Amino acid sequence: MENSAVLVGIYKQGCEKECFKSLNELERLAETAGANTCAKLTQLKNIPDAATCIGKGKLEELKEICQNNSVSNVIFDCELTPAQIKNIENVVECDVVDRSMLILDIFAQHATSAEGKIQVELAQLKYTAPRLIGKGKDMSRLGGGIGTRGPGESKLEIDRRRLFSRISFLQSELEELEKNRQVMRAQRERSQIPKACIVGYTNAGKSSLLNLLTNAGILAQDKLFATLDPTTRKFDLPSGISMLITDTVGFIRKLPHHLIHAFKSTLEEAVYCDFLINVVDSSDEECYEHMQVTEEILNSLGVTNKPILYVFNKSDLTTNEKLFDLRYINSSKGRVVNVSVKDKTGCDELISQLEALCRYGKKRLYFLFPYTSQGDLSNFYKSSEVISTEYTNDGTLVYAWVDEKTENKYSTYKK
C-alpha cells in the first residue's frame, strides 16, 4: 500500500535554496519508507512557531492539501516537539512525523543484526515514542504509518508504563553486545592486519564497492540507508598483503546528534581503523555538500587526522571536468581515485592506492637472523610482511615491510 505524503520545510532568511535541497532529499527518504510525495510546502520562518512550527495560515493551507489529496502522512524536515506534533495533527487530521522519526523508521526496516535492532529500538523509544504517546488517539490505529514500525516485524511499543523498563533492559543488552564488539576489535588489533573503514554519504556506492572487491554479498540498493549493520571482509591485495575492510551505515545531512549517539558503537568502526575509504557519488550535484557532511560527522566522532582515500565513484555518470575538479580540490587532503563500481573502471588504481595505504609509514628493510635466533625470527614473521627470504651462511636474510615498532624491536638484526 502506497502512502501519500506532504513534506514541509521552514527556512531562515537567505536559506531558501538549502531548504529545497533538503526537501528533495526528504522526498527520497519518504520514498525509501514507502511514501509518495504529493506536495512540498515551505515557509520563511526565522523562529519556528512554538505551538505549530509553521504559522497559522500555512497550517490551514496544509490542512487543505491533506484533505484534497487524501494524504496519510505529513513529514516535517525539522525536528518537532511532542506538543507541536499533537497540535499540528489536531488541525490536519493525519499522522505527522519529523525527519528523525522518518530516518528511524527506515532504520527499523533495514536493521538485521541483534545490535542494529536494539540500537534502533532504543533510539525509537527515546525519540519517537514520546512523540507518539499522548497523541490522544486510539493507539490501535497505529502500526501501518511511517514512524510506528519497529525493527523486524515488530511494532513500536508505546505504552508509557513499559517504556522505561524496556529502555533499561535494552541498554543492558546493548552494553553486552558492545563488549563483544570490543573483544572482536581487540582481536583484530592484535592481528596486525591493516584495517580500512568505508565511509561516506548514503547511496554513494559503499556496499557496492565492498561487494566488488570481496564478493561480500551485501545488499546494495538505490535506496537511502540500505546498509545499517557494519560488515567486515578480508581483502587480499595482489602483492599478497591481506587487509580488512568494513562497510558501515551511510551519513546524511541533519543527522541529529541523538541518532549519531545511538549508533556510536557501529559508527565507531571508523575510529579504530588504520585509514578511511571515503566513497563519494561524483555524479550527484550535491557531492561537495555530501563530502562536507561526511567530514563533519567524522569530526563529531573524533575521527581526525586519519589517512584518507577518496573514491570518486559513479564516474560512468560524471563528466571528466567534474572528476578533475574533485581530484584537484581534494588531493591535498588525501589520496584520490576515480572509479565506476558499475563498469569496474579505475579498479587497478584503487587497488594500488590501497596497497600504498596498507604500507603507510612502513619501510622495506633487510634483517639477518642467525640460525641461533629462530625464536625471534618466527616472531618477526608475525609482525612483518615478508618480501623475500634467503638462507645464507650467516643466517636467514629476510627482506620485509616493517613498521617502526617492529624495526626498533629487531634493530640488532638489521642489515
Binding mask 243-282 for ligand GTP (x = CB under 6 A): -------x--------------------------------
- Judged by CB under 6 A, the residue of 203, 231, 246, 396 near ligand GTP is 203
Place of cell 588531493: 331
Closest CB 110 distance from ligand GTP, rounded Å: 8
- Judged by CB under 6 A, the residue of 220, 245, 336, 377 near ligand GTP is 220
Check: CB of residue 106 under 8 Å from CB of residue 35: no
User: Helix (H, G, I), strand (E, B), or coil: what is residue 362?
Assistant: coil
Contacting range for ligand GTP; rule: CB under 6 A; set: 160-168, 214-222, 287-295, 328-336: 214-222
Contacting range for ligand GTP; rule: CB under 6 A; set: 64-72, 221-229, 233-241, 289-297: 221-229
Q: Considering CB distances under 5 to 8 angstroms, the limit depending on partner class, which of Mg ion, ligand GTP, none binds residue 285?
A: none
Please, is 287 exposed, middle or buried when counting C-beta atoms within 10 Å of its C-beta (0-12, 13-18, 19+)? buried
Backbone angles phi, psi at 328, to 5 degrees: -60, -45
Residue 237 backbone zone (phi > 0: left; psi -120 to 50: alpha; other: beta): beta
Between 16-32 and 99-110, two packed helices, what is the crossing angle to 10 degrees? Answer: 30
Closest CB 339 distance from ligand GTP, rounded Å: 7
Q: C-alpha distances in angstroms, 18 versus 32, 46, 326?
A: 21, 14, 21
Closest CB 40 distance from ligand GTP, rounded Å: 23
Q: Considering CB distances under 5 to 8 angstroms, the limit depending on partner class, which of Mg ion, ligand GTP, none binds residue 314?
A: ligand GTP
Residue 130: what residue type?
A: P
Q: Cα Rg for the chain, rounded, in angstroms? A: 26
Indicate the residue among 97 and 341 with the shorter CB distance to Mg ion.
341
Closest CB 350 distance from ligand GTP, rounded Å: 12
C-alpha grid cell, residue 138: 486510539
Binding mask 321-340 for ligand GTP (x = CB under 6 A): -------------------x
The site that binds ligand GTP (CB under 6 A) totals a number of residues, namely 22
> According to CB under 5 A, which residues from 169 to 228 bind Mg ion?
206-207, 226-227
C-alpha grid cell, residue 371: 640460525
Residue 109 is a binding residue for ligand GTP (CB under 6 A): no
> According to CB under 6 A, which residues from 302 to 321 bind ligand GTP?
313-314, 316-317
Q: C-alpha distances in angstroms, 323 versus 283, 319, 338, 400?
A: 9, 6, 7, 36
Q: Considering CB distances under 5 to 8 angstroms, the limit depending on partner class, which of ligand GTP, Mg ion, none binds residue 194?
A: none
Q: Considering CB distances under 5 to 8 angstroms, the limit depending on partner class, which of Mg ion, ligand GTP, none binds residue 208?
A: ligand GTP
Check: CB of residue 346 under 8 Å from CB of residue 338: yes
Q: Considering CB distances under 5 to 8 angstroms, the limit depending on partner class, which of ligand GTP, Mg ion, none binds residue 203?
A: ligand GTP
- Give the residue closest to ligand GTP by C-beta: 250
For residue 208, the number of C-alpha atoms closer than 13 Å in the C-beta half-sphere is 22
Q: Using the 8-state DSSP alphabet, how is residue 149 labeled?
A: B
Indicate the residue among 110 and 135 with the shorter CB distance to Mg ion.
110
Closest CB 256 distance from Mg ion, rounded Å: 20
Round to whole Å and give the CA distance between 393 and 91: 91
Distance linking the first and last C-alpha atoms of the chain: 72
- β-bridge partners, 336: 310
Q: What is the contact surface with ligand GTP in residues (CB under 6 A)?
A: 202-208, 220-222, 224-227, 250, 313-314, 316-317, 340-342
Q: What is the contact surface with Mg ion in residues (CB under 5 A)?
A: 206-207, 226-227
